[in-house]
């Protein structure tokens, strides 16, 4: 690949820092690197490949001369600044929800729909973290037997809600073990030793009773898979895990797939690691997935309630494959 002039917007956040790590780890060819964040980060520096780089304040003219920009700075920021970057000839890979369902913007998971990057008009959307790991596992099964219906329940780590959420789980855990009351600030309820069926933590629910996170999974899955006929329903839950999202997935297919056939298809699929040895108590775990870029699938079994149903368990690092790694993989496709 030809070295590129690269910018990372939201460089000081959890995902922004992971983007920098992925650019370094995967040896993405960088001619020069610009770190951008809000005015709160003015004066800070971050280390990249042993060099201290200044963090600049994100502005409309920040992208002159930049060829690829990775955004993880929130939907409002992306709505404002991504068009500015595209206007200056930069290709934006955006991690927020701002552009995902825009019909003019590709929504890409490289293992699933890499060719969609070809029709970008300056902005490419990175899907929701929970959607990404699920469609990586669904793709080979859909190709083999066509999905008719997907039912998913998620068990999502607090790192998906940002640095403050991670600190809140730490603080509440200490307080409760010390006999003190939990003090919810980021989440609407105590997250330590609890499960909260509300994502995101504010303004989550819409008129149909689904949360906005659940609707993201429903709509994004259809767009990425390129098949509006797939019926999808989701329940998303925040759990007291620091990192790594887990999902219970149930599918119905047009053609019958046995559990053995599904294991074989998944074992050959790009980006998938099958961990499915029940005798050895081997199955995907958030503790194992953390720090890894693959999507782990296990507990693969035939649904006893449906002749063409399968159940399985999907786990991935939400900050890596669910965000930063997927964005860098898209940049590599470019």
Q: Could you tell me if 60 and 154 lie in one domain? A: no
Supply the pLDDT for residue 140.
Answer: 98
Q: How far apart are CA 202 and CA 125, in angstroms?
A: 23
Q: What range does the domain containing 280 cover?
A: 131-318
Q: Could you tell me if 135 and 250 lie in one domain? A: yes
pLDDT tier, 100 (very low <50, low <70, confident <90, very high otherwise): very high
**Secondary structure element (H or E) that encloses residue 144, with its range:** helix 129-145
Whether the predicted pLDDT of 43 surpasses 90: no
Domain count for the chain, please give it. Answer: 2
* Helical H segments across 198-297, by residue range: 212-225, 259-268, 286-289
- Chain segment 301-333, per-residue pLDDT in tens: 999 999 999 999 999 999 999 999 999 999 999
Q: Could you tell me if 165 and 19 lie in one domain? A: no
From 90, 120, 245, 311, the catalytic residue? 245
Q: Could you tell me if 135 and 122 lie in one domain? A: no
**Secondary structure element (H or E) that encloses residue 123, with its range:** strand 123-125
If one counts every other C-beta atom within 10 angstroms of the C-beta of residue 269, the result is 21
Supply the pLDDT for residue 198.
Answer: 97
Whether the predicted pLDDT of 2 surpasses 90: no
**Does residue 129 have an active-site annotation?**
yes
Q: Could you tell me if 61 and 182 lie in one domain? A: no
From 90, 120, 129, 311, the catalytic residue? 129
Region 208-221: what's the mean pLDDT?
A: 98
Whether the predicted pLDDT of 290 surpasses 90: yes
> What average pLDDT is seen over the chain?
96
CATH code for the domain of 23: 3.40.50.720
Q: What percent of the chain has pLDDT over 90?
A: 96
Q: How far apart are CA 98 and CA 247, in angstroms?
A: 24
Supply the pLDDT for residue 84.
Answer: 96
Concatenating the DSSP letter of every residue in 153-185 gives EEEE-GGGG-HHHHHHHHHHHHHHHTTPPP--S
CATH code for the domain of 222: 3.30.360.10
Concatenating the DSSP letter of every residue in 18-41 gives HHHHHHHHTT--EEEEEEEE-GGG
- Chain segment 256-267, per-residue pLDDT in tens: 999 999 999 999
- Chain segment 48-89, per-residue pLDDT in tens: 999 999 999 999 999 999 999 999 998 999 999 999 999 999
- Chain segment 104-146, per-residue pLDDT in tens: 999 999 999 999 999 999 999 999 999 999 999 999 999 999 9
107 token code pair: 């929504």
Whether the predicted pLDDT of 1 surpasses 80: no
Q: Could you tell me if 306 and 163 lie in one domain? A: yes
pLDDT tier, 42 (very low <50, low <70, confident <90, very high otherwise): confident
**Does residue 306 have an active-site annotation?**
no
Q: Could you tell me if 268 and 304 lie in one domain? A: yes
Q: Could you tell me if 150 and 196 lie in one domain? A: yes
Q: Could you tell me if 254 and 197 lie in one domain? A: yes
- Chain segment 181-199, per-residue pLDDT in tens: 999 999 999 999 999 999 9
Per DSSP, 321 falls in state I
């Amino acid at each position: 690949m030809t070295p590129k002039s690269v910018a990372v917007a939201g460089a000081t956040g959890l995902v922004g820092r992971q983007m920098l790590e992925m650019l370094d780890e995967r040896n993405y060819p960088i001619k020069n690197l610009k770190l951008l964040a809000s005015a709160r980060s003015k004066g800070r520096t971050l280390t990249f490949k042993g060099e201290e780089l200044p963090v600049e304040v994100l502005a409309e003219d920040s992208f002159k001369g930049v060829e690829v920009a990775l955004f993880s700075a929130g939907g409002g920021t992306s709505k404002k600044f991504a068009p500015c970057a595209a206007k200056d000839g930069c290709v934006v890979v955006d991690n927020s929800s701002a552009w995902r369902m825009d019909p003019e913007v590709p929504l890409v998971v490289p293992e699933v729909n890499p060719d969609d990057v070809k029709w970008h008009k300056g902005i490419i959307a990175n899907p929701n973290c929970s959607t990404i790991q699920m469609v990586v596992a669904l793709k080979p099964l859909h190709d083999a037997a066509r999905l008719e219906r997907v039912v998913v329940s998620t068990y999502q780590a607090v790192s998906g809600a940002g640095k403050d959420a991670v600190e809140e789980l730490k603080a509440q855990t200490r307080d409760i073990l010390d006999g003190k009351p939990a003090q919810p600030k980021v989440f609407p309820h105590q997250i330590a030793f609890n499960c909260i069926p509300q994502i995101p933590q504010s303004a989550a629910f819409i008129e149909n009773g689904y949360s906005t996170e659940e609707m993201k999974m429903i709509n994004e899955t259809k767009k990425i898979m390129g098949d509006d006929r797939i019926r999808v329903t989701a329940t998303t839950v925040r759990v007291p895990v620091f990192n790594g999202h887990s999902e219970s997935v149930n599918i119905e297919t047009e053609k019958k797939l046995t559990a053995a056939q599904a294991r074989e298809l998944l074992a050959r699929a790009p980006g998938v690691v099958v961990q499915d040895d029940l005798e050895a108590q081997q199955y995907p775990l958030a503790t194992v997935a953390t720090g890894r870029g693959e999507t782990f699938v296990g507990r693969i079994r035939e649904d006893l309630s449906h002749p063409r149903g399968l159940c399985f368990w999907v786990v991935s690092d939400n900050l890596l494959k669910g965000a930063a790694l997927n964005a860098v993989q898209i940049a590599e496709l470019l």
